[in-house]
Amino acid sequence: MAVINPYYPIPTKIKEIIPETPSITTFVLDGRPIDFSAGQFAELTVPGVGEAPFTPSSSPYAEDLEFTIMKVGRVTSALFELKPGDSIGVRGPFGKPYPLDAFKKKEIFIVGGGVGFAPLRSLFLALVHNIKHYKKIYIRYGARTPQDIVYKKLIPEWQKIDKVDILLTVDRGDDSWKGKVGVITVILDEIPVNVNSAPTIVCGPPLMMKFVTQRLVEAGFKDEHIYLSMEKNMSCGIGKCNHCRVGKFYVCKDGPVLTWKDIKDIEEPFI
């Protein structure tokens, strides 16, 4: 049997580009160069520029593979220059999936900030695909302004799904915004799930993760039920280069999702 080189990006093309916010865009790839389960990530290569890790934002059950990406630096800026039909590379999937079997028959409490909704969207769509297994799915999402909310057209459709409850907040509102205003913790005052049994899944910028985790712990969620997406610098993606160490964990191999129980004794785990 041929040995597949894990460092070799599979060539693929961009099929569609969907602007989400002024700095966040969804890239739909042509076909499905890789399979994945919710929670796993891939390395995307821009030829001649480099590669960076991203978690798919599409459903693991969908035909297309999508990534929702914020422009922050070298690789992401080069991605934002590309057009439909342009070539990129994909390698993966890497890391461990969410333990969806352990979530069965439970309420699931998902908390996202900014572009952190991207990996959570993939998880959410995987849960909705098998919604009969789960008691109820709660999403709590915060963005800086109404303009910065990702998936603006999709959220109203998701809100109509039975057993789904979504609440949004923005740090700063505008004339069009009728919802909550304030940082993400303003919509975590009330926790509508049984904190003794519910898993809670968090993804967002480091500071948001820190304050949300504090709030979830204070609300009574069990440390082993708090699942956190760790966004460490990565290189190899397969546990060889040591770039992504958090305490004793390699985020690329043991994560990218670790529980609060795993990391709570590490000094400044979210940096």
Q: Which does 256 bind (CB under 5 to 8 A by kind): ligand FES, ligand FAD, none?
A: ligand FAD
Cβ closest to ligand FES, residue 160 vs residue 248: 248
User: 212: number of CA atoms within 13 Å, CB side?
Assistant: 29
Of 9, 33, 53, 60, the residue at the interface with ligand FAD (CB under 6 A) is 53
206 binds ligand FAD (CB under 6 A): no
| Widest distance between CA atoms in the chain | 61
Of 148, 231, 254, 262, the residue at the interface with ligand FAD (CB under 6 A) is 231
> Residue 53's beta-bridge partner residues?
43
- Which residues make up the interface to ligand FES (CB under 6 A)? 234-237, 239-244, 250, 252
Q: Can you list the alpha helix ranges (DSSP code H) found in the chain?
A: 74-81, 117-129, 155-159, 206-219, 251-254, 260-263
Three-state SS at 206: helix
Residues 60-119 that bind ligand FAD (CB under 6 A): 67-70, 72-76, 115, 118-119
Tokens 């991605």, located at residue: 79
User: How far is C-alpha 220 from the chain's CA centre?
Assistant: 23
Contacts of 59 (CB under 8 A, 6+ apart): 122, 125, 126, 129
Q: Which does 119 bind (CB under 5 to 8 A by kind): ligand FES, ligand FAD, none?
A: ligand FAD
256 binds ligand FAD (CB under 6 A): yes
Cβ closest to ligand FES, residue 53 vs residue 199: 53
Q: Which does 250 bind (CB under 5 to 8 A by kind): ligand FES, ligand FAD, none?
A: ligand FES
